[in-house]
Amino acid sequence: MTVEIIGTGRAIPLRRVTNEELAGKIDTSDGWIRSHTGIGSRHIADDDTAASDLGAAAALEALKLAVERGAAAEKTAAELALTVDLIVVGSTTQDFFGHPATACIVQHKLGAVNAAAMDITQACSGFIYGIETAAALLKTDPRRRRALVIGTEVLSRIVNWEDRRNCVLFGDGAGAVLLEKTGEDSAEAPVSSGPGPAHTGRRGLLRTVLGADGSGWEYLMIRRGGSRNPWKKGEIVDTVPAIEMNGHAVYNFAVKVITETIEKMLKEERISAADLDLIVPHQANARIVQAAAKRLKIPEEKFYLNIEEYANTSSASIPIALDELNRSGGLRRGSLVMTVGFGAGLTYGGNLIRW
Ligand code: ACO
């Protein structure tokens, strides 16, 4: 049984904010941002746009592409949406605090009335966790065949725009993939263990690594608003709930877990980096990727980076990159691609996929 990606999509807000524009508002410069992060611009959603709007738009593009490319028998995206059994949304900027799940709103927008819907709040690791969750849920029930996995963020809403250490890093956007289960049930090993399906040329999701180090929960967080620190009646609130980050601690964690996750997947799969066509990392900071590449002695060109255009879009960064590659021919049938990322929690992981 395999779980393959049969459609990809993305939704990027039109408004593009360059480093120069930011430098006109806060004490920063294009030179500092580029040299410390590789970021040149970010896209910012308008005031009326929430995570479900971008997420549904990206998912619709994924459905349309699957129809266009003849990957499904259905003739329209709306018909295909009716065949989706599960919607998993990774987001750290859900439409509403606590509930309802943003995935339910996406389900409604798409008319995907037959789909179960759930959110995953692993921040930047949300898409990697989401792919594995969706694939596992497709595999455990013969009635489930198709799932949408979406990463969608409006991070501009939870950024303190006066904090230059932080606000220059983030952007808004969404990416989505449509997964389809093919083949029969079998007694094969679960995707996360056992040696090397990459050797067989088998397509789809071949392997996933997931991990967390909860001791670092405080390094990347939104402190106010939950049951630990609720807003209190009568309290005068003069700031938005905003991302707080220990940049150095997150940087060190990121380089370590990206390096270890890539090594682990290559080792378990008994392949080398040369066997991979591409590595698609979470786009948080180009320097993190460069440091991991150096440690692993993998050429930087093997890593796909689009952070210059979009900045860090958290759970959306990997599916946005996958969609760009899928549409541009950077990923073709048979390409072997590895995703790898990290995020609040602290969490990390990676997926190995034969396109
Ligand atoms: N413009 C100009 N100067 C700046 C800016 C800015 N935007 N930001 C910081 N500086 C200054 C600082 O004030 C400091 O000046 P000082 O020495 O006079 O105090 C100097 O630049 C160096 O600051 P550092 O914080 O040491 O810069 P560093 O090189 O470590 O880069 C960064 C900071 C980019 C945040 C880095 O630590 C990093 O990328 N960390 C990981 C971030 C990350 O990946 N987060 C994931 C979030 S995703 C999620 O799950 C939501």
Q: Are 19 and 28 in contact (CB under 8 A)?
A: yes
pLDDT band at 197 (very low <50, low <70, confident <90, very high): low
Pairing of strands 347-354, 204-212: antiparallel
Question: Does residue 268 sit in the same domain as residue 166?
Answer: no
Question: Does residue 84 sit in the same domain as residue 211?
Answer: no
pLDDT at 187 over 70: no
In a domain, 230, yes or no: no
pLDDT tens, 212-236?
Answer: 999 999 999 998 888 998 888 888 7
pLDDT at 196 over 70: no
Question: Does residue 212 sit in the same domain as residue 118?
Answer: no
In a domain, 316, yes or no: yes
- Measured in Å, residue 308 CA sits from the centre of ligand 1 at 16
Domain CATH number, residue 110? 3.40.47.10
Lowest mean pLDDT among 168-172, 225-229, 297-301: 225-229
Residues with catalytic function:
124, 282, 312
Q: What is the pTM of this model?
A: 0.95
Question: Does residue 34 sit in the same domain as residue 173?
Answer: yes
CA-closest residue to ligand 1 atom 3: 28
Lowest mean pLDDT among 115-129, 158-172, 184-198, 295-309: 184-198
In a domain, 235, yes or no: no
As for how many domains the chain has, the answer is: 2
- Measured in Å, residue 166 CA sits from the centre of ligand 1 at 7
Question: Does residue 145 sit in the same domain as residue 105?
Answer: yes
Q: Which domain holds residue 15?
A: 2-182
Question: Does residue 35 sit in the same domain as residue 170?
Answer: yes
CA-closest residue to ligand 1 atom 41: 251
Question: Does residue 169 sit in the same domain as residue 207?
Answer: no
Q: Which atom of ligand 1 is nearest to the CA of 287?
A: 39
Question: Does residue 8 sit in the same domain as residue 157?
Answer: yes
Question: Does residue 24 sit in the same domain as residue 152?
Answer: yes
pLDDT tens, 38-94?
Answer: 999 999 999 999 999 999 999 999 999 999 999 999 999 999 999 999 999 999 999
pLDDT tens, 337-348?
Answer: 999 999 999 999
In a domain, 236, yes or no: no
pLDDT tens, 319-332?
Answer: 999 999 999 999 99
Lowest mean pLDDT among 117-121, 220-224, 279-283, 301-305: 220-224
